[in-house]
């Protein structure tokens, strides 16, 4: 699985770059494609939100970054809102770079993952609890 997390940012607001170009160099402003991009964008935004006296460039950058974050959240919410629990699970697995065998290992029995993804087996309440904890989401996503 590809590890694209920026987790090295961890800047305190006072050490975030003050200039727009430096902020863009740290985290380019572009559409968010997956949860990794989303988490990284949130980390940068949180660091900037805590700034006591943000520069004009920091405020402008944060304004654009929050628009990008909101667009991603809206798009993801629309996809999840129209989807079945199985499609939601498939989306989450894809975002995490996981396959059926990974799902099976997570649930405790490797062949189970493929069977669930093919629609041959249903998720039990125990499976749903495991998935909700792993993906850090509400169990409601996996109920019809």
Q: What is the mean pLDDT of residues 67-89?
A: 81
**Per-residue confidence (pLDDT) for residue 15, from 0 to 100:** 78
Contacts of 110 (CB under 8 A, 6+ apart): 101, 104
Local structure of residue 140 (DSSP, 8 states) = G
Residue whose structure tokens are 């749903």: 128
Q: What is the mean pLDDT of residues 88-109?
A: 92
**Per-residue confidence (pLDDT) for residue 4, from 0 to 100:** 53
For the cut 90, the answer to whether the pLDDT of residue 73 exceeds it is no
* pLDDT band per the 50, 70, 90 thresholds, residue 76: confident
| Lowest mean pLDDT across 2-6, 99-103, 114-118 | 2-6
Ordered alpha helix ranges (H), the chain: 20-26, 35-49, 56-82, 85-96, 100-107, 110-117, 125-135
Cβ contact 35:95 at 8 Å: yes
Question: What distance in Å separates the CA atoms of residue 7 and residue 43, rounded to the nearest whole number?
Answer: 8
For the cut 90, the answer to whether the pLDDT of residue 131 exceeds it is yes
Contacts of 144 (CB under 8 A, 6+ apart): 84, 85
Q: What is the mean pLDDT of residues 63-75?
A: 90
Pair of tokens at residue 76: 């993801």
Question: What distance in Å separates the CA atoms of residue 115 and residue 95, rounded to the nearest whole number?
Answer: 20
């Amino acid at each position: 699985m590809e590890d694209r997390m920026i987790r090295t940012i961890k800047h305190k607001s006072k050490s975030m770059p003050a200039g727009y170009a430096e902020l863009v160099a740290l985290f380019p402003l572009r559409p968010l494609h997956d949860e990794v991009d989303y988490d990284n964008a949130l980390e940068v935004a949180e660091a900037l939100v805590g700034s006591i006296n943000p520069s004009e460039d920091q405020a402008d950058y944060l304004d654009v970054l929050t628009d990008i974050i909101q667009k991603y959240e809206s798009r993801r919410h629309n996809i999840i809102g129209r989807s079945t629990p199985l499609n939601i699970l498939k989306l989450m697995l894809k975002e995490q770079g996981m396959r059926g065998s990974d799902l099976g290992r997570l649930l405790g029995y490797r062949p189970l993952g493929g069977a669930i993804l093919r629609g041959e087996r249903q998720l039990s309440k125990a499976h749903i609890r495991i998935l909700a904890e792993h993906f850090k989401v509400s169990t409601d996503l996996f109920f019809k």
